[in-house]
Amino acid sequence: MTNPASTLSTSTAPASTLPFITADEVYSRVSFADAVAAFHRDLRAGLDPANDHAKTIVDLAHGQVLMMPTESSELLGVKVVTVAPANPDKGLERIQGHYLLFDSATLTPVALMDGVALTTLRTPALSAAAADILAPAETPHLLVFGSGPQAWGHVEALRAVRTIERVTIVARNQERAQALADQVTASGIPARVGVAEDVADAQLIACATTAREPLFDGSLIQDNACVMAVGSHELDARELDSALIARSQVVIEEFGAAMREGGDVYIPLQEGVITEDHLIPVKDIVTGAVEVDHSRPRVFKSSGMPWEDLVVASVAYAAGK
């Protein structure tokens, strides 16, 4: 396939000249396993999230708009998505938006991509990339908090790195929880709707909700469990309690991002329950610079950084060339 950039004479070419990578194409070009492998590859090759550009979050009358630029040696990517909390009650998606790719050398647009599909793919894939190292070898029970696209995505991503025998879905909306459980069951893994206390016998726990307060009692978590929290990106919102953070080995995307958006770790820091050296960048776990402590729970907290989108978008773009 000809490089789309070669067909554009200027960076002001109309968007209609750009190839659009649809949601279906994103999923067909990049599997969750592919995305996990790309995260491992790039982090081990020297990608440092600490060098990433900061996400811009603007509060609006009915939600937020997020702008996320980043670049590699080959591509510049900018994601613009909106978050509208009231949309699900209107039959609309909570998160909507697109991803624009540019050639890094000329800053010429080369492709437009479905931003929601990209987000639905990269967030669970990053969780799975961390869990592939942090989780125990045997993980028969996965418990997922939430019933939206991220909840589904975490089931798919985690089954790409571990053998899962059963799934429990916990969500406020019981109808949506049952629908997701039915979808997971139809995909080949028995699933049911449960309650928060079911975390007590789960080896993998994925939190993908809009909750602002802890979802469960952290003392219930097994010492060998791996917990992922991806739902919040605000300092006053969290899905995990301070007690769990204090007793766990805690892995984050990057310290600066955690201090801007990671309420799950920022609140315990402010309480004095943990100190800054309690937090381990995911790069250090993936590269082996820090060993996994299997004597206590492992927690991975992410709020979404621009570099993550570009890692996956690059794979999707290259697959179509």
Residue-wise burial string across 118-135, b where 16 or more C-beta atoms lie within 10 A, e elsewhere: bbbbbbbbbbbbbbbbbb
CATH number listed for the domain at residues 121-305: 3.40.50.720
What backbone phi and psi angles, to 5 degrees, belong to 200?
Answer: -60, -25
The domain 4-118+308-319 is classified under which CATH number: 3.90.45.10, 3.30.1780.10, 3.30.60.50, 3.40.50.10880?
3.30.1780.10
* DSSP H helix total and E strand total for the chain: 10, 14
Sequence spans of domains, the chain:
4-118+308-319, 121-305
Residue 33's alpha-carbon distances to 40, 145, 150, in angstroms, are 11, 22, 16
- Ranges of the chain with pLDDT below 70: 1-16
pLDDT value of residue 16: 57
pLDDT value of residue 232: 84
What are the DSSP calls for 295-319, one per residue?
Answer: TS-EEEE----HHHHHHHHHHHHHH
Q: Do the domains 4-118+308-319 and 121-305 sit in the same CATH topology, yes or no?
A: no
pLDDT in tens, 30-83: 999 999 999 999 999 999 999 999 899 999 999 999 999 999 999 999 999 999
Neighbours of 34 (CB within 10 A): 16
pLDDT in tens, 99-129: 999 999 999 999 999 999 999 999 999 999 9
